[in-house]
Amino acid sequence: MTDGFEDGGGGGRGRTRFPGLSSRAYEHPADRSALVALRKLTGFDVVFKALSGMLPERSLRLLFLSDSVRVSERQFAHLHQMLLDACWVLDLEKVPAMYVTQDPRPNAMCVGLDQPVIVLTTGLIELLDEDETRVVIGHEVGHALSGHAVYRTLLLFLTNMAVRVAWIPLGNLAIMAIVTSLREWFRKSELSADRAGLLVGQDPQVSIRGLMKLAGGDHLHEMNVDAFLEQADEYEAGGDLRDSVLKIVNVLPRSHPFAVVRAAELRAWSQSRDYQRIMDGHYPRREEDGDASVSGSVRDSAAHFTERVRTSRDPLVKLVNDVAGGAGHLGGRLRDFAAGAARSARDAAGGGSARDTAAGGGSGSGEDAGGPSGPEEGRAGR
C-alpha cells in the first residue's frame, strides 16, 4: 500500500505517496509507441549520438542561472515547497533545480541531459492558483521521472538548428524529418505528464481547471468545466472529413496537444480502473523496470489504439474503421465463396467416380467398388 503524508505546500490535506513508482504506471500508450517509432526513424540514432556531446546543457544552466530566479527556500519558497512535495509524492529521489523566468506567456518545461531543470514562466505563476500550480510542477516532475528531458532538449536544439540551415535544402529536410517526429512524440509525452500531474494534485477537477485557464485565461468566473469538456466531445466528433484533415494539419507545428484534447484524455484516465489501482497502491515499481517486457508494452499500445479506433467518433477514423471492417467482411465472404466452390468441386469429382464404377469402367477392387457383387463373386470362385 502507499504511504500517506500531510503535504507541505500549503494544501493542508493528506496526500497519497507512491514509493518506488515506475513511470510505466502513468505513461500514455501513445507516448510509448511514439517514442519507439522515433527511435526507429532512419538516422535518429546517428543524430542523437552525434549531438549528445554537443547539446548545450551547460549553456542552458548558465543561462537560467544568469537571467532567471532559482527557486529555493529563500526565493519563491512556496514553489520550492511544492517541488519537494511533488518529488515526495512521485518518489523522485534527486530533486531537480527549478527556475522562474520572466515571460508573459504561461509555460513550463523540463530540459537537460544528466540533470533535468524545470522552468516556470511568470505568466504561468500569475495565471494559476496554488493547487493548479502544484499540478503543473507535478507534470514537470513526471517529465523528469520518465526521462523526457533529454528528448525535449534535443527538440529545442534541432528546432534552432533547422532555422540556421534552412538555406540548405537537403540538410533542412533531414533535420525537419527528425523535428517532426520529435514533436509528434512530445505531444504524446504531454499526455503522460498530465497524468503525473494528476497523481500529484490528486484532484481531476483542479487538473482540468488548469488546462481550461491555459485555453481561456484567468476568467474562471466566466468559464465552466462541464461546458469545456463538451467542447472536447464536439471537437472529436464534429465536422466531416475535411475537419479531420484540418485537425491533423493544425496540430503538426505544435509542441503540445490542444487543451480540450488534454482535458478529455485526463478525464477518461481519471475515471479508469488504472488510475484507481495506482491510488490504491497497485502499480509497477521501478525495481521491476528491468524485467518489463518491451513486447508487452507494444501489445498494450496496440490494444489502446485498437480500442480508440473502434470507439472514435472522428469522421476520418470512422471511415478508416468502416473500410477496414468492410474489407474484412468482404474477405470473409470471399473465403466462404472459395470454400464452397472447392467443396462443390470435390462433390462433383466424387459423383463422377461412382458413375464410372457402376458402368464397369472402375479399375479398383471389388471392395472399393462396393455393392454385393464383390462377395457374390468370391463365393462363386470358391
pLDDT digits (tens, 9 = 90+) for 202-211: 999 999 999 9
The amino acid that residue 366 corresponds to is G
pLDDT digits (tens, 9 = 90+) for 294-328: 455 545 544 544 555 455 555 544 544 454 454 44
What mean pLDDT comes out for the span 225-252? 81
Res 362: pLDDT: 45
Average pLDDT, the chain: 75
Residues in the chain: 382
Closest CA to 285 of 9, 1, 61: 1
Calpha distance 257→260 (Å, rounded): 8
Question: pLDDT-derived band of residue 186, with 50, 70 and 90 as boundaries?
Answer: confident
Residue of 27, 140, 190, 265 marked catalytic: 140
What mean pLDDT comes out for the span 329-351? 58
Active site residue 140: yes
pLDDT digits (tens, 9 = 90+) for 151-168: 777 777 766 655 555 545
Q: Which three cell numbers stand for residue 16?
A: 497519497
Evaluate if pTM is beyond 0.95.
Answer: no
Q: In DSSP terms, which residues pair with 98 in a beta bridge?
A: 118
Q: CB count, 10 Å around CB of 269?
A: 18
Sorted by sequence, the CB contacts under 8 Å of residue 378 that are 6+ apart come out as 366
Residue 379 reports pLDDT greater than 50: no
